[in-house]
Structure 1
Amino acid sequence: MGQSASAHEYSSGGSSSSSTHHRSITANLSDAVSFTDGNDQIHPVIFGDNQDYTSEIPDECLALIFQSLSSGDRKRCSLVCRRWLLVEGQSRERLSLNAVADIYSQIPAIFSRFDSVTKLALRCDRKSSSIDDEALALISLRCRNLTRLKLRGCRQVTDLGMAFIAKNCKVLKKFSCGSCTFGAEGMNALLDHCSSLEELSVKRLRGVNDGVVAAPIGPGAAASSLKSICLKELYNGLSFGPLIIGSKNLKTLKLLRCLGDWDRILEAVADRGDSNLVEIHLERLQLSDIGLTAVSKCSQLEILHLVKALDCTNLGLVAVAEHCKLLRKLHIDGWRSNRIGDEGLIAIAKNSVNLQEFVLMGLNPSSVSMSAIASNCKKLERLALCGSETIGDAEISYIAKKCVALRKLCIKGCHVSDQGIEAFAWGCPNLVKIKVKKCREVTSEVADWLRARRRSLTVSLDVEETEVETVEVSASDAGEQEDGVEYPPSVIRVANAGGGGGAVDAGVPSSNHAGRSSGFKSRISFFGGRGLVACTFGRWLNGNGGSNTVS
């Protein structure tokens, strides 16, 4: 595609291979070939009878074919002939432009060709000067049917440019901006005129951030239609309070790293008494149990992310558990503050019978709360345990035994060893993927063993590199079978070769993770009738499983 070709390749006297090539071209437009004549004119493929069979394809069908192609193939196909160029442009609904200042002179030509665009993204990097109000006004006049608009790094756009967008693109349904410089006036213009707006995402809005006190934003005419609001990294995010409180049909609210006391905003939403919120994300906010208790009044809540809110405790989490009975997804990052523990987690286990996804980060639950979660959350399909100092083999084994619906499991930075991972050879019958990361006592050997036991299970293991050690190994045995019985890796225990040899210990190690050695776990020595040879083990995990080399 896009390659130049001489005219004789398409003549009637071509070879059979050439004819086959012609048929393949007509079968798939993405494989179309064009050639350039002496006048630099692009022509479609012509067959031996000098007839262009693609001309019989209606424009509507041709447009549908273009829509099924990848972005690259679509661009190349548009260069085949003038008709394809025209049809491709008129059928394109999504367009992304490098919104630098120099693009202004090209805007009429661009949107004359792409006159049906409904989804537009304008991006500019930090080192370049972006389009200004005049360019944005020209775009808004050319794209009155826009339903989605994304602005990234358009620092030369002010409130005036946003006013043009608001007045000319009144059917907008989704608006997103990041690292822009317009302020409250431009945002209010958008909310006042775009009464069909459903999704609003604002990140690092410099105009709102400037100054100590920002003008209030919203509610505006869009408040009745808004279903999703996402605010991220705003100094004056509280200025969006009137919009949040006034959006009665809001389904999703995401507040991420925005300064200010958010308790009163959430209380105002809860006091309204008609909240339809289904999804709430709260990350690194000034938020206490007061705000979390307000969240608990959202009886329709199904998804809650509570990330690094240091003033939230068991009290707030218990309130959420007792009142939000429809919770399906719950993410908690306690940031190792130890303010959320067994009390809150047991309340979740008792009340959240519909829980399907549970992520615990920076928490130190005991075996009591973990067993309650495993026993009561029968619908749990996805579980992540990260950065916990109290989760060990006993807790993991209980999860393997009780979480029969579990499909995906992630364990990161916990005191888990091979013994805990071995439990999944028999437990969690619906498990399709297990990921273990930064668990020093889990070796690649158990990952290989688990893959062999459950071939349909994807095992992803990421451990720190271990030192190379030399141990004694029998030349007659691979080391995992004795008397016809296959032992799991944790059962095979051998003393270090430097300590004078050792013997196989078939006893299952204790589940007390505090007493386990943190050194190299898989030192193996087997005795056979053919003598001993030296075997050097390097790093077992290299991304594809373990390996050993006999020297």
Structure 2
Amino acid sequence: MSECSEDSIELHLPDECWELIFKTLKSHRHFQPLSLLSKQCLSITNRLRTSLTVTPQTLPTLPPRLLLRFPSLTTLHITRLPHAHLHALLLHLSRSALPLRSLSLSAHPSIPSDGFRYLSQKTPPLKSLTCSHIASLTNSDLSLIKDYFPFLEHLDLSFPDNSSDPVSDSAVEALSLGLPNLRRVNLSGNFFIHDPSILSLCKNCQFLEELVIFECHFITQRGIASAIRERPCVSSLCVSNFGCGAKKGDFFRPHVTSDFIEALVGLKGLTCLDLSFSSISDELLCCVAEEGIPLRKLVLQGCCNYSYVGVLCLLSTCRFVEHLDLQNAEFLCDQRVEELCAFLGNLVYIDVSGCRMVTDSALLALARNCPLLNEVRMGATDVGKRKVDDDALVSGVVNYQVKSLYLGNNSWLRDESVEMFASVFPSLEVLDLSSCCGVYEGVVEVLRRCTEVRHLSLAFCSGVRLTGLNFEVRKLEELNLSRSGIDDEALSVISKCCRWLLQLDLENCSRVTAKGVRQMVENCTQLREISLVSCYEVEASIVAWMVFSRPSLRRIMAPPRFDLSDGQRELFLRHGCLVC
């Protein structure tokens, strides 16, 4: 959509009608061309935005006062900002009338105590706070959080980087007493907390529903069992590598105890169970089934000491599972996937990556028997090794619900299988074929049949060329060609057929030169982001031309040997493009 003057656009409908129309768009990124049509459209799109992400790259183009353009902003994600900028931004937020309810801070050196003090005076109060991967998270930070944000319902303090002054059990206990409304808490990666931390949370937070404690190696099965007995209303439990026992890799993983199983099945409203990388048993899975636990999400990624018997027992009883993760289950094969399909009528998401005996037949069985299936992940399997030669098995198998298909790292995958999957899943929007080196021109047939594809990854696909493209691919927005075999000839074809691209990744494409990049920038008139990292055949001088030739560009990852001065950076930013 091209930029137009306001006088050339006559919008006869009231704002309320246009809001309903704009809300049908799948992403906020589609608001940008609409906002250029008129002041009315700009005002409407600004009102509709409820979330915003601020990074060091976006901050120069987003002064704090511009946040007032988004009066409905309820969620703000802030990542890796310098302390002074973070302080100024939080101060400005505290003085605004924005209805902010959720704040996410990640990868900062420390908790911004002054900024939190400012925000604590703001109404309405924060309900959700995420402080993940903080370099230094201390006991005093937990005290500050409970004092400033006593109405929090969701708190994420996962994976702090400090080890010299870690969070203690007494600080977690004080936190639990100060946050009585807490419903969801994530303490993953706090390596030095023990059983009392989890027990105090379950005792003192009467509304607690979700408990996430991945990689807390001093928390034991006994501790978890004692804690969840105190809070039987917990509906989501996510734990991994708990306790100590028989060594497995770098950690000790014990056999699951009867005490833990007894406490687990006492959670009668449990809908999500994630035991990633834990030692479990068929007994645990069968006990969950016998108690009729209403599971909707089951994650057994990387688990050991269980078998197909336990999985079959659970899924044949708990038939409302929507999200199933059986990554690296060594016992899983085509026949067993087909057997399980009889009980997966409500399945929406499945991940069987790393199951080396799973092939094309399993994918067809899922397509045939799971009418609600939306996303399938089958990376690093044997897909493509044993192709389905019986046309009768393929004929008539069409699943219009599957929108996302991940088949990365399948070394046996060939064009024939890729083309077959295109006919089985015609509504695909996301397709990832990363590191499938046996795929060549089959992708062209996918784009021909699956007209809704908006994200396509061909990273590390050394044989892909796409020179057979001779039709428009109107919906494709994100194309990852990093470390692929793409050259200038292929880019020329792509630039003519995929003119609506928004993001293009050409990292480490050794055959690409400035000629091919120039064609992409000239023909893709909506291009917002391009990566030329490690493209040694692309001259650095093309960067300035790109900035001034394509106004839609917002970010350029420059090629090697590009020397960016402060003056150039500021000049490019004034044109709305970050070069890094």
Indicate the TM-score class for this superposition, using the shorter chain for normalisation: 0.5 to 0.7
Give TM-score scaled by structure 1 length.
0.63
Mapping of residues 150-549 of structure 1, within 5 Å: 150-155=274-279, 157-168=280-291, 170-181=293-304, 182-208=306-332, 215=336, 218-220=339-341, 222-238=343-359, 242-243=365-366, 245-259=368-382, 261=385, 263-264=387-388, 268=393, 271-285=396-410, 286-297=412-423, 298-314=425-441, 316-336=442-462, 338=463, 340-344=464-468, 346-347=469-470, 350-414=471-535, 415-436=537-558, 439-440=559-560, 442-445=561-564, 449-455=568-574, 456-460=576-580
Q: 1:394 to 1:274 in 2, by over 3 A?
A: closer
Q: Is the 8 A contact 2:476 2:498 kept in 1?
A: yes
Task: Give how far 1:217 is off.
Answer: 5.7
Q: How many angstroms does 1:123 deviate by?
A: 0.5
Larger Rg: 1
User: Root-mean-square deviation (CA), in Å?
Assistant: 3.8
| Partner residue in 2 for 1:66 | 152
Question: Is the CA contact (8 Å cut-off) linking 1:104 and 1:131 kept in structure 2?
Answer: no
CA shift, 1:83, in A, is 11
Any idea what the Cα deviations from partners look like across 1:366-385, whole Å, max 9, x if unmatched? 43432332234332111111
- Look up the equivalent residue of 1:78 and give its one-letter code: S
Residue of structure 2 in register with 1:117 after alignment:
234
Deviations 1:265-301 (A, max 9, x none): 9985674234432111111222222211111212211
Q: Is the 8 A contact 2:180 2:205 kept in 1?
A: no
Does structure 1 retain, via aligned residues, the 8 Å contact 2:180–2:206? no
2:311 counterpart SS class: helix
1:140–1:168 Cα contact (<8 Å) kept: no
> Aligned equivalents of 2:274 and 2:531: distance in 1?
34
8 Å Cα contact 1:263/1:287 also seen in 2: no
8 Å Cα contact 2:541/2:562 also seen in 1: no
Structure 1 counterpart of 2:212: 96
Quickly say closer, same or farther: Cα 1:265–1:175, change in 2 above 3 A: farther
Q: Find the aligned partners of 2:338 and 2:541 in 1 and give their Cα distance.
A: 56
Could you tell me how far 1:418 is from its partner in structure 2?
1.6
Secondary structure at the aligned position of 2:226 is classed as helix
Task: Give the CA deviation at 1:177.
Answer: 1.4
Structure 1 residues 364 and 287 mapped into 2: Cα distance closer, same or farther (>3 Å)? Answer: closer
Q: 1:447 to 1:144 in 2, by over 3 A?
A: farther
Q: What one-letter code is carried by the residue in structure 2 that aligns with 1:67?
A: E
1:151 deviation in Å?
1.1
Q: Name whichever of 321-330 and 364-373 sits farther off.
A: 364-373
Going from structure 1 to structure 2, the CA distance change for 1:365 and 1:206 (only over 3 Å counts) comes to closer
1:320-374, Cα deviation, whole Å (9 max, x unpaired): 12211111111113532x3x21424x24xx2311111111133344434323322
1:216 deviates by 5.2
Give the Cα separation in 2 of the matches to 1:301 and 1:144. Answer: 37
Q: Secondary structure at the match of 1:404?
A: coil
Cα distance, 1:219 vs. partner? 2.8
Distance in 1 between residues matched to 2:341 and 2:540, nearest whole Å = 58
Inter-CA distance 131–66: structure 2 relative to 1 (3 Å threshold): farther
**Of 380-389 and 102-111, the range deviating more from structure 2:** 102-111
Structure 2 Cα separation of the partners of residues 206 and 70 of structure 1: 33
Letter in 2 for 1:360: L
2:572–2:579 Cα contact (<8 Å) kept: no
Q: 1:105, CA displacement in angstroms?
A: 3.6
Match of 1:489 in 2: none
Which letter does structure 2 place at the counterpart of 1:118? S
When you count strand as a share of all residues, which structure comes out higher?
1
> Counterpart of 1:65 in structure 2: which amino acid?
F
For residue 233 of structure 1, what is the amino acid of its counterpart? G
SS at match of 2:407: strand
Letter of the structure 2 residue corresponding to residue 277 of structure 1: V
Cα deviation, residue 136, structure 1: 4.5
Tell me the number of residue pairs that the alignment of Structure 1 and Structure 2 aligns: 396
